[in-house]
Amino acid sequence: MLALWNRKQQSGWRAGVLPGERETALAIVQRRKNLNPLLKHCGVHPIIEIKPEHIIASLIQGRVLARAPVSGVISAEDYQLVQVEAPEVPPAELRAAVRWKLRDMIDFPLEEAVIDVFEIPQSQRRAQEKKLFAIAARSSAVQRVVELISQRARGFDVIDVPELCLRNLSALLPQDAKGVALLALGEGFAQLVLTRQGVMYVTRRIEFNRRFDGRAEDNLVDGNIDAAVLALEIQRSLDYYESQYDQTPISELVLAPSDVRSRQLAAALKSETNLDISLFEPERLFDLRQRCVMNADRKQSCFHERRHRHGSV
């Protein structure tokens, strides 16, 4: 999303930075041919302890990383991601046409938005119903990230959003070859992404902060997650994926992060669905010789900001 410069990557390194209100997340990864990616750094750093600019300056340095590509990730409150019908216009006019379609779909003034789009493979049966994802980001937020990172990282080249970061993680899963559902748990919500062969077909946010009639408190996971309702919402998304894109059914669900809450939810969901359920295990997907140091309270922040509040797709 929002590519700033067109640079060729030679070393396989990439850093990702998400500057939030209270903390800054940073990951540094090297992709290697025929090997698991090397995770050099993965951390969530409270701003009260260290400022974002100091994190970037201290960690993205040295001969190896000085020119490594760097992605800036914008905060959840600063963008909206929606699925729209693809307008029938030449490629050069696509963003402008999508901008017009978004005029009644975003909750901030359109003139303050930076627009980007990415396509979804369509089935032949639904060739006349082509859809794409559109991202509308607040231009002021994009500019803040650009100013923060560009002055300190020579390889800064793209602005990204959390859903696409999850897509990148889902694409590493072996199950992605045939299609997989990745459910990342946040505080009061979960973000679901459905991918196949590295392509994100569906992304949806599911809220947990509702109370459901007739459900006793002891039937809820972590006090506010109704496994039966969640299973239904996941199945609706899987049905949409299968019917809209003519794909074979997804049979595997992966929960992240790999913590006590996810294990409890996995056990509860197994009684509500026929899906094969497992946990996201970084040690199986990454080379963790240089492990990230992170306490349990911050573990889930690697997947989502705690204040994520936007609607689902």
Q: Please give the chain's pLDDT, 313 residues, in tens.
A: 565 544 555 679 999 999 988 999 999 999 999 999 999 988 899 999 999 999 888 776 677 788 889 999 999 889 999 999 989 899 889 999 999 999 889 999 999 999 999 988 877 676 667 889 999 999 999 999 999 999 888 889 999 999 999 999 999 999 999 999 999 998 888 999 999 999 999 999 998 865 444 444 555 776 678 899 999 999 999 999 999 888 999 999 999 999 999 999 999 999 999 999 999 999 999 998 765 544 444 444 556 544 443 333 3
* Six-digit token string for 169: 């993680």
Cα distance between residue 131 and residue 264, in whole Å: 36
Total number of residues shown for the chain: 313
Strands 225-226 and 220-221: antiparallel
* Six-digit token string for 25: 């997340």
Nearest CA to 20 out of 298, 313, 312 is that of: 298
Which residues are bridge partners to 254 per DSSP? 182, 278
